[in-house]
C-alpha cells in the first residue's frame, strides 16, 4: 500500500494509516505493513494527495525524518516507482569547487538514499579531500537529475600522468591512499537507467585515454555494469583486486565477542593490561568537540608518527597536505557529531591513539598509533579492546579496520571485505598499447619471475 495515492485534485488532505513503533503501553493497533522508522513516541502522520508531477518526474519517494540516538535520520518511507529512461536524465559536469560546495545538502540527501558507504562519499569527506589533495587535478563530478531531483553522482577527477613512459589522460574516481573506498552514488531503484546514462557521459569526455574506478566494494553493481557497457562500445577493460580489508561484526554482547578470540590472545590481553595498570591509573579519553580537536590531533599525530611509521615516512605528520586533511576532517566530523578521537592514558599520559568516525551503527578506525615506549603492554590492542567493549554496550553493529590485511587484525576477526579496481582504455593506439602492457605483458613477466 503506498504512503500516498494519486488524485486528480491536488491540495486535499487525507489521513493514512502508518505503522510506527510506539512507547511502551500503547494499545493502538498497527494498521499497515509499511514501516517508516523507529520512533520512541506516537506521531500522527498526514499525507497530501498529489499528482506524480508535483513530486518531480520521478515521483519515487518521500523522506521521513526522525531522531535516533540523538542524531537526525532520514529514511525513505514510501516508494512510488516509475521506470526511468536514460534520455530523461539531465547531466551536469561540476568542475568548479564552489559549485560542488553549493550542493552539499542535496549531495548528502542523495548519499542517504543510496546503498553506498556514507562516510567516505559524504560531501564533508570529498570536500575536505579536494581542499587537501586536489592541487594538479581537475574536478570532474558528473551528476544526473530527474525533474530537478539529484538521483546520481560520479565523484570523478581528471589527471595527467605517465604510464610505462607514455602520457596518459585519465578520468578517475576521487581517490588516493587515504580513501578507504569509492563508488558511484545512485538513489535506490534508479541503477539501471543511471549506469547507462552515466557511461555515456564518461565515454564522451574529451581528451580522455582511460577511465579508472578505484577501490570500489566488491558488492557494488558499479564495476560489472560499467565494464559491460564499456566492452559493448569497444573499450578495453581490466580489473585488479586490492588486498582484503578486515572488519569485526558486532551486534552482540562483549562477552560473546571476547570469547571468539583465541585463548592465548585473551590471556595476553588480560595480563598485559594488568601490568599496565601497575604503572598508574588507566583510562580512556574521547575528544568529540571541535574546540579540543587541534590539541588532541597534535598529540595523536606524535603518537601515530612514533617508531617505524615516522622512520618510513608513512605517518600523517610526514606530509603537510595529509596533516591538513586529517585535522580539518576531524574538525568537520566533530561538527557533525561523528568524531571520536580516542586515547588510552596511563597516569594521565596519552600512550595510544585511535582516530574513530562513527556513522549510524558502524565505527571506522581511520588511523591508529601507540607510543613504542609501552609496546610490551600492547597499548594499541588494549585500547581497541576497550573501544569494542563500549561499542557492544552501545549496540553497534560493526568495527571496520579499513586499510589492508595487516596480520595483527586477524587476531580479532576472520571477516574481510574485497574491493576492486576497474581500468578502461579507449581503443586507440596509445591506450591500447598501455592496456596490453598492464594486463598481458607484466602479468606474464611476474609469473615467470615467481616460477624461478
**Per-residue pLDDT, 20:** 33
**Per-residue pLDDT, 317:** 73
Q: How far apart are CA 44 and CA 4, in angstroms?
A: 15
Q: How far apart are CA 391 and CA 399, in angstroms?
A: 8
What does DSSP assign to residue 338? -
Query: Is the alpha carbon torsion for 167, 169, 172, 174 positive or negative?
Result: positive
Closest listed residue to residue 396, CA positions, set 257, 198, 189: 257
Non-local CB neighbours of 405 within 8 Å, separated by 6+ positions: 243, 244, 245, 246, 416
Provide the Cα torsion 198, 200, 205, 211; round to 10°.
60
> How confident is the model over 172-184, as pLDDT tens digits?
999 999 999 999 9
Q: How far apart are CA 214 and CA 181, in angstroms?
A: 8
Please give the radius of gyration of the chain, using alpha carbons only, rounded to the nearest integer.
Answer: 25
Q: How far apart are CA 362 and CA 248, in angstroms?
A: 10
> How confident is the model over 204-223, as pLDDT tens digits?
998 999 999 999 999 999 99
Total Cβ atoms within 10 A of residue 136: 8
Domains of the chain: 13-79 (no CATH), 86-242+419-451 (3.40.630.30), 246-417 (3.40.630.30)
Query: Is the alpha carbon torsion for 217, 219, 222, 223 positive or negative?
Result: positive
Q: What is the DSSP string of 28-97?
A: PPP--S-B----SS----EEE---GGGG-SS--EEEEEEEETTEEEEEEEEE------GGGPEEEEE--H
Buried b (16+ CB within 10 A) or exposed e, 32-71: eebebbeeeeeeeeebebbeeeebebbbbbbebebeeeee
Helix (H, G, I), strand (E, B) or coil at 232: helix
Mark residue 438 as left, alpha or beta (left: phi above 0; alpha: psi -120 to 50; beta: remaining): alpha
Mark residue 189 as left, alpha or beta (left: phi above 0; alpha: psi -120 to 50; beta: remaining): left
Closest listed residue to residue 364, CA positions, set 172, 130, 179, 129: 179
Q: Name all contacts of 386-391 with Cβ < 8 Å and 24+ positions apart.
A: 386/284, 386/344, 387/284, 387/342, 387/354, 387/356, 387/363, 388/248, 388/250, 388/254, 388/257, 389/254, 390/284, 391/250, 391/363
- Which residues of the chain are under the pLDDT cut of 50? 1-60, 77-81
Q: How far apart are CA 9 and CA 71, in angstroms?
A: 37
Cβ atoms of 171 and 208 closer than 8 Å: yes
Q: How far apart are CA 73 and CA 65, in angstroms?
A: 6
Closest listed residue to residue 227, CA positions, set 219, 216, 238: 238
> How confident is the model over 53-106, as pLDDT tens digits?
444 444 445 555 656 666 666 555 434 345 678 888 999 999 999 999 999 999
Helix axes 293-305, 320-335, angle to 10 degrees: 140
Bridge partner list, 313: none
**Per-residue pLDDT, 452:** 76
**Per-residue pLDDT, 50:** 40
Amino acid at each position: 500500500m503506498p504512503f500516498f495515492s494519486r488524485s486528480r485534485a491536488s491540495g486535499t488532505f487525507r489521513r493514512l494509516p502508518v505503522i510506527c513503533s510506539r512507547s511502551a503501553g500503547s494499545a493502538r493497533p498497527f494498521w499497515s505493513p509499511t514501516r517508516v522508522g523507529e520512533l520512541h513516541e506516537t506521531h500522527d502522520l498526514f499525507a497530501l494527495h498529489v499528482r506524480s508531477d508535483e513530486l518531480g518526474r520521478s515521483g519515487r519517494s518521500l523522506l521521513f525524518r526522525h531522531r535516533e540516538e540523538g542524531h537526525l535520520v532520514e529514511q525513505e518511507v514510501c516508494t512510488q516507482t516509475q521506470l526511468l529512461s536514460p534520455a530523461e536524465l539531465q547531466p551536469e559536469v561540476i568542475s568548479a569547487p564552489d559549485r560542488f560546495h553549493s550542493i552539499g545538502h542535496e549531495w548528502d540527501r542523495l548519499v542517504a538514499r543510496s546503498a553506498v558507504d556514507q562516510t567516505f562519499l559524504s560531501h564533508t569527506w570529498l570536500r575536505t579531500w579536494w581542499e587537501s589533495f586536489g592541487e594538479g587535478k581537475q574536478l570532474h563530478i558528473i551528476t544526473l537529475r530527474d525533474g530537478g531531483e539529484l538521483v546520481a553522482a560520479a565523484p570523478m577527477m581528471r589527471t595527467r600522468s605517465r604510464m610505462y613512459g607514455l602520457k596518459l589522460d585519465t578520468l578517475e574516481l576521487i581517490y588516493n591512499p587515504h580513501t578507504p573506498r569509492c563508488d558511484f552514488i545512485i538513489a535506490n531503484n534508479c541503477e539501471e537507467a543511471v549506469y547507462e546514462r552515466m557511461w555515456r557521459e564518461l565515454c564522451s569526455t574529451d581528451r580522455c585515454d582511460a577511465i579508472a574506478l578505484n577501490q570500489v566494494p566488491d558488492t557494488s553493481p558499479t564495476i560489472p555494469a560499467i565494464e559491460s557497457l564499456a566492452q559493448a562500445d569497444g573499450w578495453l577493460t581490466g580489473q585488479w583486486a586490492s588486498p582484503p580489508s578486515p572488519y569485526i561484526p558486532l551486534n552482540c554482547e562483549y562477552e560473546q565477542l571476547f570469547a571468539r578470540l583465541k585463548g592465548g590472545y585473551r590471556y595476553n590481553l588480560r595480563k598485559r593490561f594488568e601490568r599496565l595498570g601497575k604503572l598508574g591509573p588507566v583510562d580512556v579519553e574521547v575528544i568529540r568537540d571541535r574546540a579540543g580537536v587541534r590539541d588532541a590531533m597534535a598529540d595523536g599525530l606524535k603518537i601515530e608518527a612514533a617508531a617505524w611509521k615516522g622512520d618510513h615516512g608513512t605517518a600523517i605528520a610526514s606530509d603537510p597536505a595529509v596533516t591538513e586533511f586529517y585535522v580539518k576532517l576531524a574538525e568537520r566530523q566533530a561538527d557533525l557529531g561523528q568524531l571520536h578521537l580516542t586515547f588510552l592514558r596511563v597516569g594521565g599520559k596519552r600512550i595510544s591513539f585511535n582516530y574513530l568516525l562513527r556513522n549510524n551503527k558502524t565505527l571506522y578506525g581511520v588511523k591508529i598509533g601507540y607510543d613504542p615506549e609501552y609496546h610490551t603492554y600492547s597499548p594499541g590492542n588494549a585500547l581497541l579492546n576497550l573501544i569494542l567493549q563500549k561499542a557492544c554496550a552501545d549496540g553497534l553493529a560493526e568495527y571496520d579496520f579499513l586499510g589492508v590485511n595487516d596480520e595483527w587484525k586477524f587476531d580479532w576477526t576472520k571477516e574481510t571485505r574485497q574491493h576492486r579496481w576497474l581500468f578502461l582504455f579507449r581503443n586507440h593506439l596509445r591506450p591500447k598499447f598501455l592496456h596490453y602492457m598492464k594486463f598481458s605483458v607484466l602479468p606474464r613477466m611476474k609469473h615467470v619471475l615467481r616460477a624461478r
